[in-house]
Structure 1
Amino acid sequence: MNTSNKTGVGAAIDRVEGHLKVTGKATYASEFPIENKVYAQGINSTIAKGTIVSIDTTEAENAAGVLAVITHKNAEKLNDFKKDRYQIATDTIAPVLQSNKVHYYGEYVGVVVAETFEQAQYAARLVKFEYSKASDPAIHFDKQRDNAFFPGEDSDYSRGDMEKGLAEADEVIEQTYITPIEHHHPMELHAVIAEWNNGKVTAYASQQMIEDATIAISDTFQIPQKDVRVIAAYVGGGFGSKLNVERHVTLAVMAAKMVGRPVQVTVTRTQMFTNTGLRQKNEQTMKIGAKKDGTMTALSHDTLSHTSPNLVYQEPCGMVSKMLYNSPNAKVTERLMPMNLQTPFAMRAPGEATGSFALESAMDEMAWKLKMDPLEFRIKNDTQTDLHKNQPFSSRLLVECLRIGAEKFGWKNRKDQPRTNVKGNWLVGYGVSAASRNSPYRKTHAKVLLELVEEKVEATIQMDATDIGTGTYTIVAQTAAEYLGIPVEQVKVELGDSNFPVTPGSGGSWGAASYCNGARAACENAVMKLKDNRSIPKDQKVALTELLKQNQITKFEMTGMAEPSTEFEKHSVFSFGANFAEVWVDKDTGMWRIERMVNVGAAGKILNPKTAYGQIIGGLTMGAGMAIAEKTDVEPNFGNFITRSFADYHVPVNLDMANIDVIFLPEEDKIANKMGIKGIGELGITSVAASLANAIFNATGKRMRDLPITPEKLIEAPLEPGVQEV
């Protein structure tokens, strides 16, 4: 689409909410000035499995400022799960303190409410629990293999005949890749302020999906959804950990009802390891068959992972393997083991981030075995049809991403033989990976309010969408400016309130496409209605100011709704990309660093290159974190996490990152939606770890199949067959 407004769609403008954030005026969940507010602190179990035998609350109840100590003995009865192995979703209930059973170390077993935050924290340490500790907690991944189960009908997929495909192959590789437990750790701690008023609850909560949060709270407390209001004006990051309602929200709502005052709960950084979700450990076995000319004949992807004892979540690691390459014979399986760890849930690009590490590493290994350029091997097996869904892609510029990225990166300078590109004591390597990310588009409602003020129209867009740091306020404002024909300075965006029109919330890379098309629909409806009222032809250009004047009004409002078309449903809609990385590895110590990264993406219409660039940089950083350091270790005796602060759970910092080039390819995809928008936030993390691991192989001749890639692992790893010691 051609932009008709210098601050409209496609312009690289600054964030419209940026000034509020840097001046501290953007109100986050724990910052709402609620009168008569008190504070609550959750109490965590200190065993991984067992039952609570007794509780002594006397000392805590007598502590200064304490209003209540709530445990399973006096907690309000909530809607609970009717069966074990319940598959959770973003609107699933979140009961807490409903029995004396303990399922994992850190599970909430109580909550203290006090006048101040400090009083609540202090008193929480005074509550004494006696446990009957089970002798067989499931906290060791390898010991639970025999207990693996089939999660559900979507867990297995196949096409063609794998045995036939492998028999037709000239070369076959079979390898296992491991990605560890990771934690989301957004900058803003999980927090909520809950208050009741005449049987209705308001929760100022750090949530990504407002509508689903109201459903979860109403279903948990068994009250009408209309009696629940959720407000999340600003969310300081989520990465998936704030998609669903976690138990701290339930604790706050319950406590507020029991003490008759607004209650704030802020989850500590340590509690965010045990109480706000995690990315599962995944053990992925890949098998690829190919002919000598590089034609793939078979691809299988089997994942073994874990979930909590009573709830089920499966990270879909095999989804990329189902559709990315032209393999006529394919098989994907997923199995879960019940373990006494908290229930995992979606983390940025769930399935793609982890699954692409396995797939793109295996593709590199097959290319090496075929003595074929790994870039050309991927291009050789490109497809314009999604063989998983048997549908054409709405658009697919994967080959273009690979070719253009290779030119920008200087791929032609790569040396095929590992350990031959040497600079002093450094071994230098180049790596590549292909990336893909499903681009969902969901029904979205929006409202636009127009007001004529001193010869200028001021517009307000309202929807319950959330801005999780991705720039939603800005791109929605740009969309309204574009379709109303006014400067973005005259647009105000109001988000994150369940009283506003319903959207799908932030997650799954559907936000930009859904929100902006919803805003577009409301703005187009407003202009059309104002024209219809005065019998003005639809295609006649009339300034918005003039339209309001001709209608003899100074205020006007209109709603709009956008949803996928029938053409959308007939196609497979994805964003595609390519990652290139140069790494330097010290041949004596195994220390390695990223020297350069090039990322190329084809993600439809880029609404704002500046905010889109920030999304890709964030994704690349998280992808690098997977390879460099991110790992949560389970303490083998008690089931707690050894890594439970930023002192020992390491994430990348500026010095860990590289010189980065980001390239967006022009892509016109009106099948995706009327504005041609696709998801980009999760595309940035996908397969980044594989590009780094592949570069390390090119540098050292050693395959890194177990993340993160530490110097110790590099030193101990053997050279791969065919690699010569130089």
Structure 2
Amino acid sequence: MKTIKASGIGKPIDRIEGRLKVTGMAKYATEFPVENKVYAQAVNSTIAKGEIVSIDTSEAEKAAGVLAVLTHKNAEKLKAFEEEMPELGTTTIAPVLQSNKVHYYGEYVGLVVAETFEQATYAAKLVKVKYKEETPDIHLDKSRAKAYKPTESSDFSRGDMDAGMAAADQTLEATYNTPIEHHHPMELHAVIASWNNGKVLAYTSQQMVDNSTIVISDTFQIPKKDVRVVAAFVGGGFGSKLNTDRHVILALMASKKLGKPVQLTVTRNQMFTNTGMRQHNEQNMRIGAKKDGTLTALSHETLSHTSTFQEYQEPCGNVSKMLYKVPNNLIKHRLIPLNFQTPCSMRAPGEATGSFALESAMDEMAWKLKMDPIDFRIKNDTQIDLSEERPFSSRLLIECLRIGAEKFGWKERKMEPRTNTNGNWLIGYGVSAASREAPYKKTSSKVIISLEEGKAIATIQMDATDIGTGSYTIIAQTASEYLGIPTEDVTVELGDSNYPVTPGSGGSWGAASYCNGARAACENAIAELKRKKNIPEGEEIALADLLKQNDLTKFEAEGTAEPSEEFEKYSVFSFGANFSEVWVDKDTGMSRIKRMVNVGSAGKILNPKTAYGQIIGGLTMGVGMALTEQTKIEPNFGNFITRSFADYHAPVNLDMANVEVIFLPEEDKIANKMGVKGIGELGITSVAASIANAIFNATGKRMRDLPITPEKLIMAKLEPGVES
């Protein structure tokens, strides 16, 4: 992508923090200079269910450099859950080492603190734990009788599903499975925790700073004002760093006991067992349609698992509530408590997994109807969100599909599978539609304007985080735009709970919320400076001149942006379409993705360069979801067989395709004053379905269980009606 030097929003400028990152000057959680720091390493359980009978810490305590060993016997008593199965949220307390019960393989059962990292790691292996082991519940199939409805909102219906299916000329019922996946951001989960005279300071890798202060204060039952959390740079999260996990609480507990700062880094292996995951989802789809392609009924029923002590539901059916015009609709979610850690949000929770089932089923129905899958989707487009009975603030899904089809060369696609070949390769084209809610949340910001050598410069402060998405850059571009100064004269300071409160990073609300918060602060500063000198609101005047006229060398203002009353009257979503060309070796079942085209309508694009990076990241995760990523469970003991990058296969460059990303021009002023929507999670939504649909078009085999491995492809049978 060509980069130009420019100020203001909408330009593909380089990341303003890029030089800091490539020179190693950007400080991540464990890179802050903290004096007298010591190191901790957690001890994990080696059973999935049972009780600790005894813990022998004597050998570990005698090891060189060891300062303390914490277990449930000597750990500080923390606030306990007030209900049996509390829902996991981003402000949920995180008690740890509070009993001898073991709920899942890898659960923290101890903590060793030593003078060095190496000493702590070695000594942790010397802790000897004896268990009274029980048979764990680790199989979805064997525990179906325990399935329950989490909340009333877990189910949704409109119309009469049975009547809709009866009225259909063609029906479909199929089950789709997405496996357990793990987030694995580049930066490990980590913290430097300090407890000093009742005051807490945590340098930690978190996506939501203010929520982290709430978790810490509530867990330890101390005033929130005594807690400071700093997350200046976060090396990826994908949802795993939304919650304040138990390693943070462990480190703080140790710091309080020892009176020293404690650094705790979760190992890559522990990131399989202790920092969340996307759970296995079994999704049953039923669709009914008329001969002309009109949908008459659609149901989406999901069976997932949660832990035995905490509840998390991935809303896979949400996408099926609103994406298409269908009069009879049924959505159900059921959970089974199993002896695994509590799942949590992973990029596009619900949409990434739910869209695989929905968009695969839509492709299957189009095949049954002998209808082009793009025409089938367009036939059932709607400008009304039928799940909310509200109009969409904007919806360019048809445009995404049509423009993508043109760019991709969809007209070259052959409807009959197995008819497009090149030597031993079977070539297929696949398409899928994508949608993702575009939330906009209350955000506050401060702007500090200074006059230096006759030039106005500005600093923006907010507790927002940059998880690699470009927050620093787009906030600087926003301030540049609304203050009328070059981007290079804007400094952005993020990730400190001492700064004005934002919703943090997650849910695709970051860009719209942060930038509107910065806008509000800048607009307030300009308005106040003009008001002081009775300068008309509409009169253009340079910021430096405004300061000079007010005899000021420094001025501060704050602003808060939040959804309008009009926003609440609409459904606000981003939309997109994915196109994939996949080649499959007919003898080995090996798949190669040759081309991908992604088209998105996500409001005003603040920076095409950082936005492009977001989509590329989403597409890469979508490829992993479709072809390589799965966490396998040992069927007897409940531990993960896949526990390193040697056996958990994330996509690399050679797995990826030639990619074209297209952003449609759109400014949705109902969404917010700047017309911005989220794209971070739209990028992964329905990618797996477009690949699976392309593989069907290439091979005539429907792949309903992810990931699509060569073994599965070889073993699969041709769909009825496909000629061999």
Counterpart-to-counterpart distance in 2, 1:6 and 1:395? 29
Counterpart of 1:201?
Answer: 200
CA contact (8 A) 2:196 2:256 kept: no
Question: SS of the counterpart of 1:514?
Answer: helix
One-letter code aligned to 1:358: A
Counterpart of 2:654?
Answer: 655
One-letter code aligned to 2:45: S
Counterpart of 1:670?
Answer: 669
Counterpart of 1:213?
Answer: 212
Question: SS of the counterpart of 1:427?
Answer: strand
Question: SS of the counterpart of 2:667?
Answer: coil
Matches within 5 A, 1:259-278: 259-278=258-277
One-letter code aligned to 1:405: G
Counterpart of 1:365?
Answer: 364
Counterpart of 1:36?
Answer: 36
One-letter code aligned to 1:58: S
Structure 2 residue ranges without an equivalent (≥5)? none
Question: SS of the counterpart of 1:595?
Answer: strand
Counterpart-to-counterpart distance in 2, 1:238 and 1:6? 30
One-letter code aligned to 1:431: G
Counterpart of 1:304?
Answer: 303
Counterpart-to-counterpart distance in 2, 1:570 and 1:53? 57
Counterpart-to-counterpart distance in 2, 1:112 and 1:360? 48
Counterpart of 2:63?
Answer: 63
Instruction: Give, in angstroms, the shift of residue 378 of structure 1.
Output: 0.3
Counterpart-to-counterpart distance in 1, 2:552 and 2:55? 66
One-letter code aligned to 1:514: S
Instruction: Give, in angstroms, the shift of residue 6 of structure 1.
Output: 3.4
CA contact (8 A) 2:179 2:706 kept: yes
Instruction: Give, in angstroms, the shift of residue 339 of structure 1.
Output: 0.4
Is 1:140 matched up with 2:133? no
Instruction: Give, in angstroms, the shift of residue 382 of structure 1.
Output: 0.2
Counterpart of 1:90?
Answer: 90
Counterpart of 2:14?
Answer: 14
Deviations 1:392-413 (A, max 9, x none): 0000000000000000000000
Instruction: Give, in angstroms, the shift of residue 82 of structure 1.
Output: 2.3
Matches within 5 A, 1:240-259: 240-259=239-258
Counterpart of 1:377?
Answer: 376
Counterpart of 1:286?
Answer: 285
Is 1:122 matched up with 2:157? no
Deviations 1:223-278 (A, max 9, x none): 01001000000000000000010000000010000111000000000000000000
Question: SS of the counterpart of 1:593?
Answer: strand
CA contact (8 A) 2:352 2:684 kept: yes
One-letter code aligned to 2:78: L
Counterpart-to-counterpart distance in 2, 1:409 and 1:516? 33
Instruction: Give, in angstroms, the shift of residue 628 of structure 1.
Output: 1.1
One-letter code aligned to 1:188: E
CA contact (8 A) 2:204 2:231 kept: yes
Counterpart of 2:52?
Answer: 52
Counterpart of 1:561?
Answer: 560
Counterpart-to-counterpart distance in 1, 2:121 and 2:259? 20
Counterpart-to-counterpart distance in 2, 1:158 and 1:510? 27
Counterpart-to-counterpart distance in 2, 1:73 and 1:597? 55
Counterpart-to-counterpart distance in 2, 1:593 and 1:644? 26
Counterpart-to-counterpart distance in 2, 1:144 and 1:594? 37
Identity of paired residues, percent?
A: 76
Counterpart of 2:387?
Answer: 388
Counterpart-to-counterpart distance in 2, 1:310 and 1:82? 12
CA contact (8 A) 2:299 2:330 kept: yes
Instruction: Give, in angstroms, the shift of residue 141 of structure 1.
Output: 1.8
Question: SS of the counterpart of 1:517?
Answer: helix
Counterpart-to-counterpart distance in 1, 2:277 and 2:153? 21
Instruction: Give, in angstroms, the shift of residue 653 of structure 1.
Output: 0.4
One-letter code aligned to 2:409: G
Deviations 1:637-689 (A, max 9, x none): 11110000000000100000000000000012100000000000000000000
Question: SS of the counterpart of 1:151?
Answer: coil
Instruction: Give, in angstroms, the shift of residue 83 of structure 1.
Output: 2.2
Question: SS of the counterpart of 1:389?
Answer: coil
Counterpart-to-counterpart distance in 2, 1:205 and 1:115? 20
Question: SS of the counterpart of 1:216?
Answer: helix
CA contact (8 A) 2:51 2:133 kept: yes
Instruction: Give, in angstroms, the shift of residue 571 of structure 1.
Output: 0.2
One-letter code aligned to 2:92: T
One-letter code aligned to 1:298: A
Counterpart-to-counterpart distance in 2, 1:153 and 1:217? 30
Counterpart-to-counterpart distance in 2, 1:6 and 1:649? 42
Total equivalences in the alignment: 720
Question: SS of the counterpart of 1:497?
Answer: coil
One-letter code aligned to 1:287: R
Instruction: Give, in angstroms, the shift of residue 342 of structure 1.
Output: 0.3
Counterpart of 1:326?
Answer: 325
Structure 1 residue ranges without an equivalent (≥5)? none
Question: SS of the counterpart of 2:10?
Answer: coil
Counterpart-to-counterpart distance in 2, 1:13 and 1:668? 20
CA contact (8 A) 2:6 2:13 kept: no
Please tell me the root mean square deviation across aligned C-alpha atoms, in Å.
Answer: 0.6
- Scaled by the length of structure 1, what TM-score is found? 0.99
Counterpart of 1:172?
Answer: 171
Deviations 1:69-88 (A, max 9, x none): 00000000000112221111
Is 1:621 matched up with 2:613? no
Is 1:440 matched up with 2:447? no
Counterpart-to-counterpart distance in 1, 2:669 and 2:318? 24
Question: SS of the counterpart of 2:247?
Answer: helix
Question: SS of the counterpart of 1:87?
Answer: coil
Instruction: Give, in angstroms, the shift of residue 615 of structure 1.
Output: 0.1
- Scaled by the length of structure 2, what TM-score is found? 0.99
Counterpart-to-counterpart distance in 2, 1:509 and 1:416? 35
CA contact (8 A) 2:196 2:259 kept: no
Counterpart-to-counterpart distance in 1, 2:399 and 2:635? 47
* Runs of 4+ more than 4 Å apart: none
Instruction: Give, in angstroms, the shift of residue 458 of structure 1.
Output: 1.0
Matches within 5 A, 1:503-514: 503-514=502-513
Question: SS of the counterpart of 2:589?
Answer: coil
Counterpart-to-counterpart distance in 1, 2:552 and 2:501? 28
Counterpart-to-counterpart distance in 1, 2:232 and 2:205? 9
Question: SS of the counterpart of 2:191?
Answer: strand
Instruction: Give, in angstroms, the shift of residue 140 of structure 1.
Output: 1.5
One-letter code aligned to 1:584: W
Question: SS of the counterpart of 1:217?
Answer: helix
Question: SS of the counterpart of 1:311?
Answer: coil
Deviations 1:417-444 (A, max 9, x none): 0000011000000000000000000000
Counterpart-to-counterpart distance in 2, 1:29 and 1:263? 12
Counterpart-to-counterpart distance in 2, 1:70 and 1:316? 37
Matches within 5 A, 1:665-704: 665-704=664-703
One-letter code aligned to 1:7: S
CA contact (8 A) 2:206 2:212 kept: yes
Name whichever of 139-148 and 427-436 sits farther off: 139-148
Counterpart-to-counterpart distance in 2, 1:39 and 1:589? 49
Question: SS of the counterpart of 2:566?
Answer: helix
